[in-house]
Amino acid sequence: MVAIITDTTASIPADLIEELQIELVPYYIMRNNETLRDMVDIQPEEFAQYLMTARTLPTTSNPSPGDYVNSIRKLAERTREIVAITMTSKGSGAYQSCKAAVEMVCERLPNLHIDVVDTLQVAMSHGWSVIEAARAARRGLGIKEVAAKAREIAAKARMLQTNDTLRYLYMGGRIGKAQALMGTLLNIKPIVSMEDGIIVPLGTARTRHKAYMRMVDLVKEKVGQGARIKIAFTHCAAMDQLEILKEEFTKHFQCVEVLVSALSPTLAVHSGPGTVGLAYLPV
C-alpha cells in the first residue's frame, strides 16, 4: 500500500492520523533557549496559553532533509511507494527539504518510488489533501493515482480564517505598530485566505459575528447556497467561537463531513490565540 508522509502544520485531527497511518514530520519552534518539536514536545492548548502572555514571538523552522530521510527510511521498511505532501512551498522550506531528502534516499534505494506534492496550501486545506490521498491509498490505488488525488484536492480546497487581534501580526512583523493599535481600537477582524500558495487578505469586519457571516458569503460565492461540502473547522484557543462559526455554516451548506482541529503550535505562532477558521472542499 502507498504510504503517506506530511508535516505537522496540516493540523489533521489525531484520530485520523492514527486511523489513516499518516507519517508526521514535525516543524520546530524556537522559544527562548529551547527548541521544541511541533505536536511532539508542545501541544496546541499549552502553547496557546503561553502565547497569551508572550512579549516576543518564538520563531519557527521547517523540517530538515534529515528529518524527512528518517521518516522515509522508516516507511521503506514496509512499502516501496510513498507520497509526501507538504504545505505551500511559497511560505516554507518543507517542500525543498523533502525533495532533497528524496534524492538522498533514492540514491541508496533505487527501487523506492516517491512523489512529492506541493499543495500550495496551509492548515486543513493542506490537511484535506493528505486525508483524501491516504483514503485513496487505503482503497488500494497506486502511487500515481494517490499523488493525483492529493493534487486534485489541494487545488479544490480553500481556507478562510479570522483573527481575534492584530497583535500577533504586529509581533510577527507583518504589520506596523500604528496599524495594530488602530485595528485593536476599532475592533477590526481581518479575514484572510490563500491564493496560489500565498496568504491574501479578503477584507475586514468590525465584529466576530460579521466576520463569520462574511465567511459564509464568501463560500456561497464560490459553491452556492446549500452546496455539498466537506469542512474542517480550525482554531487556536477559541473552541467557543469555533462552535458559533460551525453553527452558521451548517445552516447554509450540506456539510457531508465535519472535522474540528486545533491549529498546530507552529501555525499558532503566526495567527495567535483567538483565531478561528475553516477549510472547505466542494464534493
The owner of cell 527501487 is 111
CATH number at residue 114: 3.40.50.10440
User: Which of 122, 155, 188 delimits the end of a domain?
Assistant: 155
Q: Give the domain range for residue 228.
A: 158-282
Q: Output the pLDDT for position 135.
A: 98
**3-34 pLDDT, tens digit each:** 999 999 999 999 999 999 999 999 999 999 99
Provide the β-strand partners of residue 200.
193
Enter the pTM of the model: 0.94
Domain shared by 128 and 195, yes or no = no
Does 50 have pLDDT greater than 70? yes
Domain shared by 139 and 170, yes or no = no
Does 183 have pLDDT greater than 80? no
Element (H, E) at 259: strand 254-262
Q: Which residues contact 225 (CB under 8 A, 6 or more apart)?
A: 252, 253
- Whether the Cβ atoms of residue 16 and residue 51 lie closer than 8 Å to each other: no
Short-list 193, 191, 127, CA closest to 158: 193
Length of the chain: 283
The owner of cell 463531513 is 257
Domain shared by 86 and 175, yes or no = no
User: Which of 106, 128, 155 delimits the end of a domain?
Assistant: 155
Which three three-digit cell numbers place residue 151? 493534487
Neighbours of 283 (CB within 10 A): 12
Q: Which residues contact 250 (CB under 8 A, 6 or more apart)?
A: 258
User: Which of 120, 155, 190 delimits the end of a domain?
Assistant: 155
Q: How many structural domains is the chain composed of? A: 2
d(CA 50, CA 47): 5
Q: Is residue 75 part of a domain?
A: yes
Which three three-digit cell numbers place residue 175? 504589520
- Whether the Cβ atoms of residue 26 and residue 40 lie closer than 8 Å to each other: yes
Q: What are phi and psi of 36, to 5 degrees?
A: -115, 140
Domain shared by 218 and 231, yes or no = yes
**186-221 pLDDT, tens digit each:** 467 888 899 999 988 888 898 999 999 999 999 999
Domain shared by 150 and 217, yes or no = no
Domain shared by 13 and 147, yes or no = yes
Q: Is residue 189 part of a domain?
A: yes
